[in-house]
Structure 1
Amino acid sequence: MNQELHEKTPLPKHQAVPRGLATTGPIVFSYGFRPFFLGGGFWAVSAMALWIAAMMFGVPVGGDYGAAHWHAHEMLFGFTPAILAGFLLTAVPNWTGRLPVSGQPLMVLVAIWAAGRLAMLSPALIGATMAAAVDVLFLPSLLFVCAREVVAGRKWSDLKVVSSLAALSIANILFHYAVIGQDHSGFANRLAVSVYVMLITIIGGRIIPSFTRNWLNKSGHTTFPVPHNRFDVIALLAGLIALCAWVLAPEHAATAVLATIAGLLHAVRLARWRGWTTWPEKLLVILHSAYAFVIFGLFGIALGALGVIDEYAVLHLLSVGAVASMMIAMMNRVTRGHTGRVLTASPMTTVSYAAIILAALLRPLANVLPEFYDLLIALAGLFWILAFMLFCWECGPMLLRVRRDARGQSA
């Protein structure tokens, strides 16, 4: 597919990372969200299917890492960074006013990500250390590209978002070091999940009330979400402190107290955004629902610190409930908005949202009800696969085609 775009931006020869919409080549590499949402959605389905096959039928996957560690790694450092890359490579140009990275530089980024997936699928082929070395290249590469754009655009306030990629890079390295060294403390897992959750609280605090206000205004409402103020800053700091405590001391009583306080503050924050008024538009409902799982996760951290539930239940409340739900929400919204579609949820999209929420509820429940563990794990995995299969089925063609204008014509 070699459709051309109308935009063209000449670039100085000294520029290290060419920028601007690609004018030739596959349309899928014209904008960051296209290949990474498509690849991430495909990998979400494939990796989960392989994990279920490994559990149910003993299919070997992950080589020396073992299926369980491979599954954890590919969810936290395979699928999720791809969606984050698609979002950041689309959002950063909007934040900085600079043109996006596309064409060959984007192809290189995608190739680095894909190489990591292949290396981790069977690390024994090249050795665990070499497979880890291939895998850890992607996040620093993405960090370099995004940081360069933020600095060049002098959007210093956005460095806190981009800096999360540094934390994720460190978490990925620590994950490999722990698995190869037979350390099962879970520190890297908690660190990665905490980084994603903080991104949701920071970026979600921007977009959820903004999108909600815009929709309410168009719908004729006169009561809107409370604007960002000092309370939001307090909630963010409380969440950061609670997550740091969880990463460092997941079973300490102080962690339970801090997480409870943070959960209450974020519950109030979410209520201030008036999510219950958005029920007619599921593109908004899923954003509020995903943020609600941040709150459930914080209370889960408190219960885990008190020994009521185990760490795996907490991890999945946050990773599936908050992170994956928010990502599938943004994948749909960004895809529709940037390909010229109407910003409203179709019946298929609504079913995919229901599926990911069911997966988010069933997966931690498996750790609470061990007698139904295998059944609940399988059901959660199947609902996960359904959610991302529906995304690929519906939005995949949008990602592979030229943007339409408001009249539905190619543009």
Structure 2
Amino acid sequence: MSESEPPTRSRQPFRPFFALAAVDAIVGVLPWLLPYGSRSANGHRDELLWGMVPAVMAGFLLTALPRWTRAPPMPAALVDALLLLWLAGRLAHWWRPDHGSLLAGAFILGLAATLGVRVVAAGKTREYKVVALLVLLALSALLPSVAADRLPAGFPHRLALASVLALVAVIAGRIIPALTTTWLCLHGRAPARRLPPLFELASALALAAALGCWCLGVGGGTLASACAAILHSVRLLAWRPRGALGHPGLLALYLAYGWLPAGFALLFFHQAGLGLFGENAAIHAWSVGAVGLMCLAVMASMIRRQTRRPFSNSGTLTAALACGAAAVPSRLMAEIAGRIWLLPAVACWIGAFLLFLLAFRAQLPWPLAPSAKPGRSARAEARPPG
């Protein structure tokens, strides 16, 4: 940050939310290191879908929203209020899970309302789908408390994961091509051509159909899963992933998005009665890879962008992204080779987020007051991550 920038920049929303999201990601899998009888069947899913992911979304959207809508930065009081609501939900999750899910739903609804008011006022109809998906995610958090006895088993978690995967597809479709184009232009190479709007529509419809069939458990899901796997693989390849090989942060975004069509492929093989993997393999390909690794890579990308170092190198961050990438195959191996593979998967996951916190230890602290001395902030931002 330069000394000419306003000091309020130091209170950007990504700082507290990203730091707490990383801590929550670590805490959520710690029970797996305890004896088998102490593990919670659903606790780590709740932490991921209604804890870590909403925090990452809040940090990303509240920081990006002023640029998307050409509006002033988010008021610090509003960010603080949302932050306290998120913290209340996470604390309640451990003592009163029913209240925790209600507070998580309230937080996500608050985030959706904040986003909705701004995008409507700015006339940004392109962002309506992000608001709608946040509302669906909030609904998934509220359902276990208000209608648990009238829902199919596992439906709230399926709806939550489907909503998050759709958000991944939307946001990655903006971040990855833009960063790839910038990277290729910096190296004197022509950027990839934009995909036709008709193809983007077809891939979105295939995604919605496949996830809808999976959530509801209705027929026709096999064909929809195959279409989603093919179309989103083509989408990924059209962004020119070979151009990302020179930068770990960009490569991690591609690897994370790659687990989206891979999960649909695994689901297709399961639905068709083929292959060694069951439905859980698709779920963990999505949750650990398309969601977990994507959150890690998106947080790193936004922090670098906001601190004016989008393509800087960091050995610590590279190690974090490598651990995040290694967690996915380790977790999938547990599906076919036994629970012994859970330990390396958990170790990689925890290592990834611990290293992330270490890499950005100078960028994530949330100042108590917006009146920090500009010179001091400038020196803190100038330190290389990791």
TM-score, with normalisation over the residues of structure 2?
0.88
Residue of structure 1 equivalent to 2:15? 34
Does structure 1 residue 231 correspond to structure 2 residue 199?
Answer: yes
State the Cα distance separating 1:345 from its structure 2 match. 3.5
Conserved 8 A contact 2:102-2:141: no
Residue of structure 2 equivalent to 1:15? none
Q: Percent identity?
A: 30
For residue 363 of structure 2, give the secondary structure of its aligned residue in structure 1: helix
Determine the C-alpha separation between the residues in 2 that align with 1:257 and 1:241: 10
Does structure 1 residue 265 correspond to structure 2 residue 239?
Answer: no
Deviation per residue, 1:93-114 (Å, 9 max, x gap): 1110112224222111111001
Assess, with a 3 A threshold, how the Cα gap between structure 1 residues 260 and 314 changes in structure 2: closer, same or farther: same
Determine the C-alpha separation between the residues in 2 that align with 1:47 and 1:243: 25
Conserved 8 A contact 2:165-2:290: yes
- Which of 271, 287, 300 is 1:319 aligned to? 287
Conserved 8 A contact 2:93-2:100: yes
State the Cα distance separating 1:295 from its structure 2 match. 0.9
State the Cα distance separating 1:58 from its structure 2 match. 4.0
Paired residues in the alignment total: 369
Assess, with a 3 A threshold, how the Cα gap between structure 1 residues 319 and 246 changes in structure 2: closer, same or farther: same
Deviation per residue, 1:12-64 (Å, 9 max, x gap): xxxxxxxxx48xxxx5xx11111100110111112222x2244x26447xxxx
Residue of structure 1 equivalent to 2:131? 162
Does structure 1 residue 52 correspond to structure 2 residue 20?
Answer: no
Deviation per residue, 1:54-89 (Å, 9 max, x gap): 4x26447xxxxxx11222111111111100111111
Conserved 8 A contact 1:340-1:404: no
Conserved 8 A contact 1:212-1:273: yes
Conserved 8 A contact 1:260-1:299: yes
For residue 42 of structure 2, give the secondary structure of its aligned residue in structure 1: helix
State the Cα distance separating 1:297 from its structure 2 match. 0.9
Residue of structure 2 equivalent to 1:383? 348
- Which of 284, 298, 316 is 1:330 aligned to? 298
Conserved 8 A contact 1:171-1:191: yes
Residue of structure 2 equivalent to 1:69? 42
Deviation per residue, 1:230-289 (Å, 9 max, x gap): 222211221121111111126x4x211111111111111111111012211111111111
Matched to 2:157, the amino acid is N
Assess, with a 3 A threshold, how the Cα gap between structure 1 residues 129 and 328 changes in structure 2: closer, same or farther: closer
Determine the C-alpha separation between the residues in 2 that align with 1:225 and 1:103: 39
- Which of 300, 318, 326 is 1:358 aligned to? 326
State the Cα distance separating 1:217 from its structure 2 match. 0.8
| Structure with the higher helix share, 1 or 2 | 2
Conserved 8 A contact 1:283-1:344: no
- Supply the RMSD in Å over aligned alpha carbons: 2.5
Residue of structure 2 equivalent to 1:303? 269
Determine the C-alpha separation between the residues in 1 that align with 2:69 and 2:252: 27
State the Cα distance separating 1:406 from its structure 2 match. 12
Conserved 8 A contact 2:176-2:253: yes
State the Cα distance separating 1:405 from its structure 2 match. 8.5
Assess, with a 3 A threshold, how the Cα gap between structure 1 residues 307 and 349 changes in structure 2: closer, same or farther: same
Residue of structure 2 equivalent to 1:85? 58
State the Cα distance separating 1:129 from its structure 2 match. 4.1
Assess, with a 3 A threshold, how the Cα gap between structure 1 residues 134 and 210 changes in structure 2: closer, same or farther: closer
Determine the C-alpha separation between the residues in 1 that align with 2:230 and 2:208: 14
Determine the C-alpha separation between the residues in 2 that align with 1:342 and 1:90: 16
For residue 41 of structure 2, give the secondary structure of its aligned residue in structure 1: helix
Deviation per residue, 1:208-240 (Å, 9 max, x gap): 111101110110113x22213122221122112
- Which of 227, 240, 247 is 1:274 aligned to? 240
State the Cα distance separating 1:342 from its structure 2 match. 5.0
Determine the C-alpha separation between the residues in 1 that align with 2:377 and 2:286: 34
Determine the C-alpha separation between the residues in 2 that align with 1:341 and 1:277: 19
Assess, with a 3 A threshold, how the Cα gap between structure 1 residues 376 and 182 changes in structure 2: closer, same or farther: farther
Structure 1 spans left out of the alignment, 5+ residues: 9-20, 61-66
Conserved 8 A contact 2:323-2:352: yes
Determine the C-alpha separation between the residues in 1 that align with 2:139 and 2:364: 31
Determine the C-alpha separation between the residues in 1 that align with 2:154 and 2:175: 31
TM-score, with normalisation over the residues of structure 1?
0.83
- Which of 135, 140, 144 is 1:171 aligned to? 140
Conserved 8 A contact 2:362-2:380: no
Residue of structure 2 equivalent to 1:286? 252
Residue of structure 2 equivalent to 1:142? 111
For residue 344 of structure 2, give the secondary structure of its aligned residue in structure 1: helix
Determine the C-alpha separation between the residues in 1 that align with 2:15 and 2:377: 11
For residue 398 of structure 1, give the secondary structure of its aligned residue in structure 2: coil
Determine the C-alpha separation between the residues in 1 that align with 2:168 and 2:14: 18
Deviation per residue, 1:193-218 (Å, 9 max, x gap): 11111112222112211110111011
Determine the C-alpha separation between the residues in 1 that align with 2:153 and 2:169: 26
Matched to 1:112, the amino acid is L
Conserved 8 A contact 2:28-2:43: no
Conserved 8 A contact 1:242-1:258: yes
Does structure 1 residue 397 correspond to structure 2 residue 366?
Answer: no
Determine the C-alpha separation between the residues in 2 that align with 1:388 and 1:176: 30
